[in-house]
């Protein structure tokens, strides 16, 4: 990967347990992951051969990549370990002891691991360790992991595509903060960056995961060919850009501040992910489908609650570009626009298949 540091432009969720902390504002991410609990259980039960991968002298090693500060990662790892325990009992009914489990919690070096580890339950059925670093690079020794899990994390790019901030480039993303409603050159720059990042993610995981090991990825996705503005997050990114431009026109921030700010986020289609996994060649695709992250949620979107969750995930990145009072103003405007002038468009957005569920198995 040369001298590029994947940490530089990566997001930082808000740590601690304050008003906008991720630990208090990650319910939407938890609900999205919970929707897939039955599919996850089925994938492990049907596809993961724990009997052949376990031994009395070696623990089953799991990693949650992009764990943030909890409580979502804690619930996910508890659930996965319990599924693995049940699978072992069904495969090895005569065994008097269960294998030991070792869970590695990974996120960027700036992640608030203190809050995460302070909330780990004392009766957890596994040993725990923190592994700071970008999942776009090597994190573990060769063939050391049996199960890798990543939820609502892989859509974060390792960095903003260089071309979109270059005034001399056809992909300069002037007046926007994302590729939503942007020219084809901007969309292509984002897609290229995502492809590079995902290729590196798959390459490094292939080195770290044992043959027969499993990788489960839950992330935002979109049907092939659908405009990004047709989904709620895409509309929100467009409204964020228009709100920032309004603030420019009112003299609250500078035009340069807006033109230099781009969100390093990309939602792929199943076709894109299939192509990247196939190109890598080290994994078989056991499952690849778009799902509804909130099938039991009816009625209008709770915009204010949604924006608090968005702020918890993005504020660390926003603070590199804007003062705190300007961030307060931005989110106030987002709530007003999405609740009123853009409310009909928001409610008509496509919500059925905007979350990718992927199960890969190491060859």
Label residue 8 by pLDDT band (50, 70, 90). Answer: very low
Higher pLDDT, 34 or 61: 61
Average pLDDT estimate for 236-262:
97
Tell me how far CA of residue 20 lies from CA of 24, 152, 327, 335, in angstroms.
7, 18, 12, 15
DSSP assignment of 10-24: ------TTSTT-TTT
Residue with tokens 């409610």: 347
Strand locations in the chain (E): 60-65, 101-107, 127-132, 145-151, 209-220, 283-291, 355-362
Give the tens place of pLDDT for each residue, 61-75. 999 999 998 789 999
Label residue 1 by pLDDT band (50, 70, 90). Answer: very low
Q: What is the pLDDT of residue 128?
A: 98
Handedness of CA 249, 250, 254, 257 (dihedral sign): negative
Dist CA 176 CA 189 (whole Å): 14
pLDDT at 159 over 50: yes
First vs last Cα of the chain: how many Å apart? 24
Residue with tokens 């991720």: 22
**Between vectors from CA 25 to CA 190 and to CA 161, what angle results, nearest 5°?**
10
Burial of residue 93, with CB atoms counted within 10 A of its CB: 0-12 exposed, 13-18 middle, 19 or more buried: exposed
Residue 235 and residue 346 in contact, taking contact as beta carbons nearer than 8 Å: yes
29's enclosing H/E stretch is helix 27-34
Q: What is the pLDDT of residue 71?
A: 87
Label residue 33 by pLDDT band (50, 70, 90). Answer: low
Q: What is the pLDDT of residue 52?
A: 94
Contacts of 59 (CB under 8 A, 6+ apart): 99, 100, 101, 102, 127
Dist CA 207 CA 270 (whole Å): 24
Label residue 204 by pLDDT band (50, 70, 90). Answer: very high
Label residue 19 by pLDDT band (50, 70, 90). Answer: low
* pTM: predicted TM-score of the whole model, two decimal places: 0.91
Beta strands across the sheet bearing 209-220: 127-132, 101-107, 60-65, 145-151, 209-220, 355-362, 283-291
Dist CA 181 CA 337 (whole Å): 17
Least confident of 21-35, 38-52, 137-151, 302-316: 21-35
Dist CA 105 CA 68 (whole Å): 9
Residue 104 and residue 61 in contact, taking contact as beta carbons nearer than 8 Å: yes
Q: What is the pLDDT of residue 242?
A: 97
Higher pLDDT, 299 or 267: 267
């Amino acid at each position: 990967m040369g001298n590029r540091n994947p940490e530089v432009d990566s997001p930082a969720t808000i740590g601690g347990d304050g008003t906008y902390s991720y630990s208090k504002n990650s319910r939407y991410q938890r609900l999205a992951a919970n929707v897939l609990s039955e599919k996850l259980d089925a994938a492990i039960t049907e596809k993961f051969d724990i009997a052949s991968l376990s031994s009395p002298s070696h623990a089953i090693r799991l990693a949650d990549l992009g764990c943030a500060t909890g409580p979502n990662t804690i619930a996910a790892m508890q659930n996965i370990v319990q599924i693995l325990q049940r699978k072992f009992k069904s495969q090895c009914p005569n065994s008097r002891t269960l294998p030991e489990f070792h869970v590695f919690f990974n996120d960027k070096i700036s992640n608030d691991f203190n809050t995460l580890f302070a909330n780990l339950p004392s009766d957890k059925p596994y040993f725990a360790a923190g592994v700071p670093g970008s999942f776009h690079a090597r994190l573990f020794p060769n063939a050391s992991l049996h199960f890798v899990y990543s939820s609502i994390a892989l859509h974060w790019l390792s960095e903003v595509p260089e071309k979109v901030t270059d005034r001399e480039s056809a992909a300069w993303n002037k007046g926007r903060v994302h590729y939503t409603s942007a020219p084809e050159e901007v969309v292509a720059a984002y897609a290229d960056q995502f492809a590079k990042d995902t290729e590196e993610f798959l390459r490094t995981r292939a080195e770290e995961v044992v043959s027969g090991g499993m990788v489960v990825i839950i992330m935002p996705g979109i049907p092939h060919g659908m405009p990004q503005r047709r989904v709620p997050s895409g509309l929100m990114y467009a409204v964020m850009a228009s709100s920032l431009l309004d603030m420019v026109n009112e003299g609250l921030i500078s035009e340069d501040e807006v033109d230099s700010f781009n969100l390093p986020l990309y939602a792929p289609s199943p076709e894109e992910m299939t192509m990247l996994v196939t190109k890598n060649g080290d994994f078989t695709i056991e499952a690849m489908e778009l799902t509804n992250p909130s099938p039991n949620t009816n009625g209008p979107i709770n915009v204010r609650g949604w924006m608090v969750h968005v702020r918890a995930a993005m504020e660390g990145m926003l603070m590199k570009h804007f003062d705190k009072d300007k961030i307060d103003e931005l989110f106030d405007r987002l709530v007003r626009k999405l609740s009123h002038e853009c409310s009909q468009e928001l409610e008509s957005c496509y919500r059925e298949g905007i979350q990718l569920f992927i199960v890969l198995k190491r060859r």
